[in-house]
Structure 1
Amino acid sequence: MRLSNLADYAVVVMSAAARHCGSARISAAELAQETGLPAPTVQKLVSRLVSAGLLRSLRGAKGGLQLARPAAAITLVDIVEAVEGPIALTACVESGTATGGKRDCGMEDSCAVRPHWPMVNAVMRDALAGIPLTRLADLQAPAIEARSHGGSPARMEMTR
């Protein structure tokens, strides 16, 4: 599984916003400069993150962006779903298909595994929900490395 670049960038932007203590206000331009992301990309993400209720946009002389709730109350799943939509590892589990009713799998009606995908999706969602933004924004936090059988770091990648 692989996160899209946009979801990855959303995590970067939210982590940067969280490092400003949540109550401090920062502009999208400052977030772009701090993260090294292109300003149009940050603006697009800010729009989605505000719509999802993760960031608050304040106007005026003391305006800017700030976390809409405490960093400890925002999780990785909140950020990913703000950009990607609900966690769904296979298209057949989504209500209605992204292809407008066209089926992507010829086995969809007779698949014995299909009934189990909602449980798998829930486990994945719960795992991401267990990672608070405070953890992601903590530069001093020790890295947690999952190791595959071969001894090299395992990668979790999400695609839609």
Structure 2
Amino acid sequence: MRLTHLADYAVVIMTAAARREAGARLSASELAQETGVRLPTTQKLMGRLAAEGLLTSVRGATGGFALARPAEAITLADIVEAVEGPISLTMCATGENHDCALDAICHVKPHMGVVGNAIRGALGAVSLQALCAPASAGEELAR
């Protein structure tokens, strides 16, 4: 499983936002400059993250975006799903066989939901706060 560029950039943007003081408002321009993610992509992602309830937005001269919840209450799974949709390892795990030649005889398909839940659980065990902490050589984020 590999994250798309958009999911990767969303994680980068959210960690940059989480490093600010609680409640601090940020503009897409500030985050784009700080992270190196292009401004149109930053704007798109911030809109999607706000629509999914991970960021709040306030319009006006003193407006901007802020984390909707504390960094310890937002997980890597939340961010990935906000951008990618529900986590599933295979297309058939969502109930859509996409014309799979093995659909009628596949003995693995019924178990793929378990695999997807395990992956979601692993990503859900990593908080945004943990992603903001300085990493030590060889240190794992979640144990």
Figure out how many residues of one structure are paired with residues of the other and give that number. Answer: 140
> Relative to 1, partners in 2 of residues 1:39 and 1:21: Cα closer, same or farther, differing over 3 Å?
same
Structure 2 stretches lacking a partner, 5+ long: none
* Deviation readout 1:121-142 (Å, 9 max, x if unpaired): 000000000000001112x232
* Deviation readout 1:87-126 (Å, 9 max, x if unpaired): 01000111335xxxx41x2001210111110001000000
Alignment equivalent of 2:118, drawn from 109, 112, 123: 123
Report the AA paired with residue 37 of structure 2: L
Aligned-residue Cα RMSD (Å) equals 1.5
Report the AA paired with residue 11 of structure 2: V
- Equivalent position SS for 1:57: strand
Query: Structure 1 segments of 4 or more deviating over 3 A?
Result: 143-146
The corresponding residue for 1:55 is: 55
Report the AA paired with residue 142 of structure 1: S
The corresponding residue for 2:135 is: 141
CA distance in 1, matches of 2:64, 2:138: 33
Q: Which has the higher contact order (CA 8 A, sep 6+)?
A: 1
Structure-2-length-normalised TM-score? 0.92
1:46 matched to 2:46? The reply is yes
| Equivalent residues of 1:57, 1:65 under 8 A apart | yes
Higher helix share: 2
| Equivalent residues of 1:57, 1:66 under 8 A apart | yes
Structure 1 stretches lacking a partner, 5+ long: 147-160
> Relative to 1, partners in 2 of residues 1:116 and 1:143: Cα closer, same or farther, differing over 3 Å?
farther
CA distance in 2, matches of 1:108, 1:87: 20
Structure-1-length-normalised TM-score? 0.83
